[in-house]
Amino acid sequence: MSVVNQFGKLFNRKPDAPAGGVADDGQDLLATGSLEGAQLRGARGLLNLSVLDLSERTGLAVNTIKRAEATNEFAPINRANANLLVTVLQN
């Protein structure tokens, strides 16, 4: 399975969908609040990135990323930061 397909599965979206993710039912993942910390941890792990690496690539604070990944529930971050994380992890 390619990395793109793995991300599609992690973010519950089609591999060719636009950045930010679209669920199988066509809804924007971030608009529906369905981005989970476990998904972010998994995607970061697939890329072998540390929290510090991801922080440098996104410009977000390390604590923001840690807070987003700390739960298996919906990530407690704003939509702009969630979009940024998903976009960087997908590209």
Note the Cα 74 to chain centre separation in Å. 11
Alpha carbon distance 15, 74 (integer Å): 21
Q: pLDDT: is 64 or 23 the higher one? A: 64
Return d(Cα 29, Cα 12) in angstroms, integer. 8
pLDDT of res. 88: 92
% the chain with pLDDT above 90: 37
Q: What is the pLDDT of residue 61?
A: 96
